[in-house]
A and B are shown apart, each in its own frame.
Chain A
Amino acid sequence: MTGHLALSARGVQMEYRDRGTGKRLLAIESVDLDVPDGAFVSLLGPSGCGKSTFLKIVNGLLLATAGEIKLHRVAKGREDAMVFQDASLFPWYSVLDNVAYGLVCAGVPRKEARVRAAPYIDLVGLQGFADKYPYQLSGGMQQRANLARALAVDAAILLMDEPFAALDAQTREVMQAELLRIWNTARKTVLFVTHQIDEAVYLSDRVVVMAARPGRVVADITIDLPRPRALAVKRTPEFAAYEEQIWRLIQHDRAPSAGEPTP
């Protein structure tokens, strides 16, 4: 960690206009967020809280309606790279070409891109699968390739959009541990979106809890568990206490709307 901020967001707002009713819909009310360089920060919240939308705004896939985001400039390459929710691999490309895709987009000649992408296939544990096509890979392996593609462009900050949501429970745990191992090796800043409390606590230095309607930040909790973290940490009382604390926050937020009598 060099001490500077990798990302700083101020007053980020996202408003949609419903095409049917013409009504304005506030997907994100106002989000302030600072992510220090090298940190692992999770955005946690129910669906509709705008966490994925925020990630897409950081990535530039969407433009916010107000506020600004500052990404720390890097000397070469990209500031940020996205790991997508569905593996989103190109079915007609081999694993190697998929992993090299970000580099090709950055203007690296395909041959050189393949050479530079190859080590990331090993890093994510896909040795021997470079020439396979996506349909020949399991869901977990596809997500490894998805991660390798983002790592290969060597961006300073990784944006991960519920990358393990579609995996079965066992594979998800394996992937969480793998992600921490890779994070330890690659030393990236990670902004990780999830709706799973245990996933956020296990992975993160900080969990930013969001609420829906309108999307906003309700808490920012520092996770003070020692690193490196083995999966066994999930069975410690400290871990359970964090889960409980966050669960209460989410329940508390939900309570008024659930208990409110309909007018």
Chain B
Amino acid sequence: MTQHAATAEAFRTIRPRVRRPRHPLVRFYRRNERMVLSAAGVVLFFAAWQLGSMAGVIDPYFFSSPTAIVAAGAREVQVPRFWNDVKISALELGVGSFAAVIVAVPLGIAIGWYRRISYTFDPWMNFFNALPRVALVPLVVLWAGLGPEMKAVIVFLGGFFSIILPTVEGVRTVERSLLDVSRSFRARERLIFTSLVIPGTLPFIASGMRVAVGRVLAGVIIAEFYAQTSGIGVMVARSAATQQPDRMLFGVLIFTLLGLLLTEVVGSGERYLQRWRPSIDLEEAA
């Protein structure tokens, strides 16, 4: 048998990757591409906004401008009433959200696990889930007045259903084969909850809580708009009414920061409780 030389026509050659030396700036960009592009997006947006309003393309009367918002913020933080508003809004959010978690998680687990409790509560769950809860605000005012208690109740209603529905779902989808393991080793019911049902439901609870962040913020804003007593929502509403878009948007920014804070609390709790999950590593690698 004769050996033929590998000629260009007969073979397609696959060569190793050649690393060409790159400029240090290019290398920096490639390594931090995600961060660089994210930052660029944010900076570009604000720059366009600022330049647009300075050039008169964007009407500052409606849209304000970044510098005006910063200036309004700088004035606000010197006023004690502002800090009082922040404190009240944060308190309403904190108490209402905490209560929602404390009630929704155990109740959701009970409804998901016990057939009879589920049969009993299901009609009410469906009813309240279909009910637009904003419509209950005037009723809650009748019960609880115009103070922070009422707003905490509205926040609670916003968060409660976002958490309880996925919790029930999570319990119902607990891995059958693991339940067989627990039963096979004759685990008592309490151990079945702590070893299987609760850890298995945590991802569902966490995703419910992430949805709940938006709902509780909406709850506190609606309640403060409606009651007009105190809180950042009142500041936003009054600023809008008195044609101060910069001050209004600064208030919106405060709500956004509260939302980010809540998201971070949920996220870090989730990461801590789910160290056993491989997906977290994968997300970071991606």
Q: Do A and B bind each other?
A: yes
List the interface of chain A (C-beta within 8 A of B): 59-61, 78, 81-82, 84, 86, 88, 90-93, 101-102, 104-106, 133, 135-136, 153
**A105 and B276 alpha carbons, distance in the complex (Å):** 21
In this complex, the member of A84, A105, A135, A153 whose beta carbon has the largest number of chain B beta carbons within 10 angstroms is A105
Q: By the criterion CB–CB under 8 Å, are B177 and A93 in contact?
A: no
**A105 and B188 alpha carbons, distance in the complex (Å):** 7
Other-chain residue from A81, A86, A105, A135 in contact with B177 (beta carbon distance below 8 A): A86
Q: What A residues does B183 contact at CB under 8 A?
A: 61
Q: By the criterion CB–CB under 8 Å, are A61 and B276 in contact?
A: no
List of 7 A-B pairs having minimum Cβ-Cβ separation, nearest first: A105-B185, A105-B187, A92-B276, A92-B199, A135-B278, A102-B185, A82-B184
**A59 and B191 alpha carbons, distance in the complex (Å):** 19
B48 at the interface (CB under 8 A from A): no
- Interface CB pairs A-B, < 8 A, 15: A61-B180, A61-B184, A82-B185, A84-B177, A84-B181, A88-B178, A88-B181, A90-B181, A101-B185, A101-B195, A105-B185, A105-B188, A133-B276, A136-B278, A153-B185
Q: How far is the CB of B223 from chain A (nearest CB, A)?
A: 38
Q: How far is the CB of A91 from chain B (nearest CB, A)?
A: 6
Q: How far is the CB of A144 from chain B (nearest CB, A)?
A: 16
Q: By the criterion CB–CB under 8 Å, are A81 and B278 in contact?
A: no
**A61 and B278 alpha carbons, distance in the complex (Å):** 31
Q: By the criterion CB–CB under 8 Å, are A101 and B181 in contact?
A: yes
Q: What B residues does A60 contact at CB under 8 A?
A: 184, 186
**A88 and B175 alpha carbons, distance in the complex (Å):** 9
**A60 and B184 alpha carbons, distance in the complex (Å):** 7
Q: How far is the CB of B70 from chain A (nearest CB, A)?
A: 46
**A93 and B184 alpha carbons, distance in the complex (Å):** 18
With A105-B191, A135-B276, A135-B278 known as contacts, the answer to whether A90 contacts B185 (CB < 8 A) is: no
Q: How far is the CB of A99 from chain B (nearest CB, A)?
A: 12
Q: By the criterion CB–CB under 8 Å, are B184 and A59 in contact?
A: yes
Q: Bin the interface of chain B by size.
A: 10 to 19
B196 at the interface (CB under 8 A from A): yes
Q: By the criterion CB–CB under 8 Å, are A106 and B177 in contact?
A: no
Q: What B residues does A105 contact at CB under 8 A?
A: 182, 185-188, 191
Q: What B residues does A86 contact at CB under 8 A?
A: 177
Q: By the criterion CB–CB under 8 Å, are A88 and B199 in contact?
A: no
Q: How far is the CB of A1 from chain B (nearest CB, A)?
A: 26
Task: Identify which of residues 53-77 in chain B touch chain A, using a CB-to-CB cut-off of 8 Å.
Answer: none
Q: By the criterion CB–CB under 8 Å, are B180 and A93 in contact?
A: no
Q: By the criterion CB–CB under 8 Å, are A90 and B178 in contact?
A: yes
**A104 and B191 alpha carbons, distance in the complex (Å):** 9
Other-chain residue from B180, B185, B277 in contact with A81 (beta carbon distance below 8 A): B185
Interface of A is mostly: loop
With A102-B185, A105-B186, A133-B276 known as contacts, the answer to whether A90 contacts B195 (CB < 8 A) is: yes
Q: How far is the CB of B80 from chain A (nearest CB, A)?
A: 47
Q: What A residues does B199 contact at CB under 8 A?
A: 90, 92
**A84 and B145 alpha carbons, distance in the complex (Å):** 59
Q: How far is the CB of B44 from chain A (nearest CB, A)?
A: 41
Q: What B residues does A93 contact at CB under 8 A?
A: 195, 276
Q: By the criterion CB–CB under 8 Å, are B185 and A106 in contact?
A: yes
Q: By the criterion CB–CB under 8 Å, are A91 and B177 in contact?
A: no
Q: How far is the CB of B145 from chain A (nearest CB, A)?
A: 44
Q: What B residues does A133 contact at CB under 8 A?
A: 276, 278
Q: By the criterion CB–CB under 8 Å, are A91 and B191 in contact?
A: no
Using CB atoms, name the residue of chain A closest to B181: A88
Other-chain residue from B184, B188, B276 in contact with A91 (beta carbon distance below 8 A): B276
**A30 and B56 alpha carbons, distance in the complex (Å):** 90
With A101-B181, A101-B185 known as contacts, the answer to whether A90 contacts B191 (CB < 8 A) is: no
Q: What A residues does B184 contact at CB under 8 A?
A: 59-61, 81-82, 84
